[in-house]
Each structure stands twice: as structure tokens, then as C-alpha cells.
Chain A
Amino acid sequence: MKAILGILANDIRRRLKNPLSVILMLLIPVTMTLITGLVFGPEGNVDMPKIKVLLVDNDGGFFGGLLKQGMQQGELGDMLDITEVTAAEGEEMMSGGDASALIEIPEGFTANVLDGKPAEIRLVKNPSETFLPIVVEEITKTMAVLLDGGTRIFNAPMSKMRSIVDQENWPAVSDMEEVMDGAKNGVILTYGYIADSLITFTDEVAALPDSVAAVDDPVVKDFNIFAYVMPGSMMIGLLFIVELVLRGLLRERKAGTLRRMLAAPVTTGQAVAGKVGAAFAITLISSLILLAVSRLGFGVDLGDPLALFLQTVATILMCTGIITFLYGAISGERAADAVMSVMIIVMALFGGSMVPSEQMPPALQAAGRFSPVFWAADGMKKIFLLDAGVSDIRIHLLVLFLLGVLTIIPGALLIRARIAKGGW
């Protein structure tokens, strides 16, 4: 045991003397989290400027007005800056690149809608912009679909309304009752669809992904984008740190220090245990640094201390186990160059380190469950965002501990066998 601890302590001392490589690895998650936070803001909202849209209303009727008002109210009103212009002004401003898009409501638009005839809305996009005109296009399409669906469902009362509109006199009460009755049936029929807004930008949708919401009776905290991003990006850094420390074994073999160690009264098993232990310890220290940065730098609430401790230990055990196993399976430094980074990136990608798994398509989300990174990142998210306790993350802990133990032991034995055979 003394020899194992000696080797472990020596590796930590060496890293402290030359910490640059570990610091660089720690910068990966910190930078990823910082950039995400800067892009989306601490609450996860994109602080986008309003999209400048020109509106040419050649119709001047009821439905043209409806479209215009629809785009100026509520969330769309916050997103779009609508300026009503004449056709000539609009063409001139568009050619000068003064707006992202121009929407032209043609003459007779309302009449055509009421008569059930095709009605066309013209959209002119600014070719020098890429993203914003597409947003306008999608909004316009959505409104056109809504309007189209509405006219089909309310066809009967609208026909009646057409005659009322055409009358010069005040409509009779019986005519209005007929219109209202027809409209009522349409509303009953479509209630389930029109009751929920199709375009929503509420916090709860972004803040509470499916897997997070699975916690029993969750305590929902104020959403912090850093708490959402850090667990995943942290995993990349930690996996690379384990890899860095264990790669030291290959370097020591090359430098001759491993041979010298084995010429001392130290068994191969003790040497490997010392190195794997050092990888665990250095990664644990690194994760503590990342947690401190999360708390102090990004204001992340670290949640339940016991759950955090167990999740951290289980995560490091899993990382150490997986990389130890991979090192046991490879034949040397060239193989490590070829395999290690790719394996880490793939595990991180599927596990939600780069794109949160909740944002992935269902098939990828399901595949992500096979990546150990998912269980580490998701458990940490639950602790950070929902104040999850040990019982809430028990499955995560079980998976991580099992993975750790089931990979670390055979991995270490494989490495020992390779060294004993004079391989590597």
C-alpha cells in the first residue's frame, strides 16, 4: 500500500510542478460554459435585436389589418419591428438593405379570403442576411396557415358575414345570431388546437427538459444556463484529464522510469494501481476546481452536498474506469493517439456534453443513454437545477459506480498483463 501511495503522491507532485496541461484541460469546460452563457445570457434567453420588417398593406381590409396587428402584438411584437410603408417606399428601402424582409398584402386580400378564393401574401427577403429573413418567412407562413385554417373552419359564418358586410344597413339581430351560432360550432371543434398558442417563448419550456423534470417533487430553482451547460462540458475536461494522467504510463515506459520502478521492490500491480489511483485523485482535484469555478464564477447553486459528493466520486470513478479499460485494450502510444480522443469525443457527443441531450432528436437521446457521460452529466444537472437528493439520482449513481468498478478492475489487469509481457 505504501508503494501505491508513494507512486500516487509522486504523480500528484509532478502535476503540481507542471500543471499547464491539466489547466488547459480545465479550460475546455470553463470556456464552453462561458461562451454558451455569453451567447444565451445567464437566464438562457437570446438578447436579439428586433427584426426590421416592412409592411405594404394594399388591401386596407379586415384580414390585412388582422395580419398586421397579429405581428405587432405579444411575443411577435417583441420580436418584430413592423414599419408600414407604401409599395414604392418598400422597394426602395429593401434595395438599400434597410430591412430584413418586406411583406406585401395584395389588394382584395380580405375579399378573396371571405369569398374562399386563393389569396397570396408576398414576402421579399433581404439577400444580404441569412437568419433573420428566414425567421420572418416562418412567421408569415405560420400566420398564413392559421388564417387559411380559420377561413376553412369558419366558412359558413364567414359567408354570412360577407353579406352582412356588403349591406349598407345595420345587420339584423337574427343575422348576427346565425353568424355567432356558426362561429360557436367552429370554436368548439377547434378548441383543443387554438386554446394553446402555437408560438410560445416561456422559460419553463427551455428550463425543464424531460429528464430533469423526472425528479420527484422537484424544487425548481431560478434557471441558470451555466448550471445547465457546465455538467456536460465538465465531462469532456475530466475525461481528457484522466486520459492525460494515464498516458503518463506510456511515457514512463518510454522514458525508462517505469522499468526503474519495476526494478525496485514494487510489483507491476502496485505500479498500475498507483498510476490509476493518481488518475482518480488528480481528476477528483480537477473536478473540485471546476465545481468551485461553477459556484464562484458562474453562480451555480451546487445543491445537496451529499448528492454532489457521491455524484462527483461516481463520475470520476466512471471516467477513470473507462479510460483505464481503453488503455488496457490498446497496444501503445500510437494506438492511444488514434483512439483516445475519438472515443472521448464520441462519448461526450452522445452523452450530451456538446449539445444537451434534451435538445437532441429522440433517437439520439435514446442512444445517449448508452454513453456513460449521459449518466454523469444528467445527474449533475439534476443536482444543480432541481436540488436533487441522493434518492433522486440513485439510478445515476448505480450506473456510474457499476460502470466504474466493471471497467477499472479489468482495465488495470489488462495494463498489468501488457507491462508484464513487456508490451506497450
Chain B
Amino acid sequence: MQKEKRQYIKKQERFPYYYLDLGVPYKTQRIIWAFIFLAPWITGFLLLFLVPMVNTLRYSFFELTPRAGEIITEFIGFDNYVYAWNTHVTSDSSFRIELLETTTDVLFNLPVLLIFSLFIAVMLNMEFRGRAIVRAIFFVPVILNSAAVATAVGGGEAINEILAQQGIDQIFDLEFYLIQAEVPEFLVGFIVDLIDRIYAILALAGVPILLFLASIQSIPRHLYEAAKIEGATSYEMFWLITLPNVTPHMITVTVYALVDTFLTSSVSNIITTELNRQNWGLSSAMAWIYVGTVFVMLIFIALLAKGFKIGDSHYEG
């Protein structure tokens, strides 16, 4: 007994943080630890996020003009918001049009993206030869999806130019073949459009696929073993084991995809452009309209998820 106690004290000296019980009950300990765990994030949030955010909110009601060494501010109320929404135009579009377009695009693309990436993730989780290579290949769009690479490649213009000089625009002209094969015209348009967009979908699906893959792999294997013994088919196992276990992560993927689409959209580009033109007040107002839109959509998704009871972990309960 004595010896054990001594050992405990010895250990305590060596790893004091393991035994930080302070003589308080476990429940209180948990709250103390929660704040220790959250400390870096809260510090960062207050200093690096909240302060800049409040500043941005303030800027959005001001007209800011840079003069030598200082910035002159003039309060103009909601003028920046009104301007962004009603009068702002770029060379071929406007802030409002782009915002509405991006919003509708997202609403249509999200379900497709979710189903597609879950499907691919399930497939990449199966065992087959060359799986490592295929997984690596599906990761390529995540790497390519970078502003720097996009600038350097310029949408592949250089290569297309070289190929066009040599008279090969595409490997084969799909539209031509389909029309030759007497496929109805509206179907041709649909198929060609879909094929054109495959790369865009794949590029966006890279991260969701990996998220789904990780979540599928964190499903305890004994569930599948039990199901197999009971004689379940792989189809049943997908619907009854994989899907319920993956749904909590579906919200994560949705949030990611929504925010990512907005971040890489033309709306975000317009905000950056205005920022670079030193229209700080205007760009702040635009940023707030943008944040408002995304937030409304998130609330909509959250309500939808609650309605369908998606996102509750079935381990809690």
C-alpha cells in the first residue's frame, strides 16, 4: 500500500498533467480540461478572428480612403450594402447576378456531389488489386486544386494551343459521333454537358471522397462480421451499416462542399478584386452579404438534417 502510494506520487511528479485532479470530482475536472483544450482556439478566435471581424463590420459602414500614412474614414450608413446589391457591375457581370447564380448552382450540385463521392468512397474501400494507385489518382484533383497551379497552367491554355496547332482539339469529337449514331438531340446535349463537367465534379469531390473514406473505415468491423454471419448481402450491409454510420459525416461534407464552392466562386473573386482596388468599405459589405447568404443556406441544411434525423450519432442516445 505504502509502496504503491509512493509510486503514484513519483509518477505524479514525472507527469503532473496526467494527474491534474486537484481533488475535485471528475465532472468538474472535465470542464477544467475542456477549457484547457479550448484555450489555444479561444485565444486565436478572440485575437485573430473576432477583432478583425468586428473591424470588417465597422468598415462596411464607412467610406475608407487611403491618404499618405493614414486612412480617412467617413460614415455612410448602409450605402456600401446598397451599392453592392444594386449598382455594382464588373466587365461582364455583377455582384448580385454572380451571388444568385452561385447559390442556385450549389443547391443543384450538392446532392449530386454527395451521392457521387459516397459511391466512389465505397468503391475505393473495397479490396481489389491496384487500390493504392487508384486512391492516389483520385487524390490528384485535390493537389491540382490550387490557385498557384491554376495561375501557372492558365486553364491548360498553352497545351491546348500546342495541340490545336497540330490539329487535335480533343481525343475524339463525342458530339459528332453521337449525332452520327442518331441519338436524339436533347440527349446529346445532356451527355456532352455531363462529360464536360466530369472533371469539375471530380475536382470538387476529392476532399469529400477522402472524408467519406475515413469515416467508412472508422466503422467497427465487427458489425460487418456479425451481419455476414446472419447472411446479409453486401447491398443490405451498405444500407443498414455503412450508410447509418456515415450520415453524421454527411453534414461535415455538406458544410465543406458548400463553403468551398463559395470560396472558389466568382463571388469571392469579386470581393478580392474590390479589396485589391482598395475599396475596403465596399468589399467588407460584400463579404457580409456573402456570409449572410452562406449562413442562411447552412441553417436551411441544418433544419433539413434535423427533419430527416441525419447527423445524430447512434452511439449517443
Q: Do A and B originate from a single complex?
A: no
